[in-house]
Amino acid sequence: MAADEDRLRDMIRSCPWLMRVLATVRDAGLPDAWVGAGVLRDLVWGELYGPGFAPGQVRDVDVVFLDPADLSRRRDEQATERLARAQPGIPWQARNQAAVHTWYARKFGGGPVAPLRSIADAVATWPETATAVAVRLEASGEIAVCAPLGVADLLEGVWRRNARRASLEVSLARLARHQPARRWPGLRVIPPC
């Protein structure tokens, strides 16, 4: 797994755009902030299974942080605004993972979810195994990787439902919306069940 994480780090380091994103998040001062999900998938799968990575086609840059002291929706908006002021033109989307339990069932259905206690707890619940990965740039310049489910599916091009929280309905909707096999030829899609 360490070799796979090093491979991911190398891909990130070779992308000046993503390195600027990581530096912006690090310097924004959000508590325990990480970048993850789709932007990492787009980088890796674009380079390995598609026509390359195009920052202009990134739908959003998911920034997750952990602030149990303020669970308001306004906290997410403030964090997103802070990032947009620091680096305009990036489609930032910051979400306080400590607040997920306050809105998840309302947005995605199902019963109540337990509060998340760490970024690793949050990342482990993201909808696909390949996108259940987050990274951050440390003050030392090292890239930290948070991948409680590993990075194998991300690097090997496998779209697979993470059943820990994503319902079958949510997973099927995401598969239809993202159309991974069309976007990244050579990808292996494991249909949700």
What pLDDT does residue 133 have?
98
pLDDT band at 113 (very low <50, low <70, confident <90, very high): confident
Distance CA 7, CA 16 (A): 16
Rounded CA separation 79/37 (Å): 18
- Give the C-alpha separation, 143 to 141, whole Å: 7
Residues 100-119, mean pLDDT to the nearest whole number: 86
Percent of the chain past pLDDT 90, that is, above it, reads 87
Tell whether the model's pLDDT for residue 137 goes beyond 80: yes
Question: What's the rounded Cα separation, in Å, for the pair 17 and 55?
Answer: 7
Domains contained in the chain, CATH given: 2-189 (3.30.460.10)
d(CA 114, CA 100): 9
Per-residue pLDDT, 97: 97
Classify 114 as helix, strand or coil: coil
| Pairing label, strands 188-189, 158-159 | parallel
Distance CA 17, CA 44 (A): 14
Position 155 scores a pLDDT of 98
| Of the listed ranges 43-52, 111-120, 123-132, the one predicted with least confidence | 111-120
Element (H, E) at 92: strand 92-96
**pLDDT of 106:** 82
Rounded Cα distance between 136 and 23, Å, is 8
* pTM (2 d.p.): 0.94
* pLDDT at 193 (0 to 100): 80
Q: What pLDDT is attached to residue 112?
A: 84
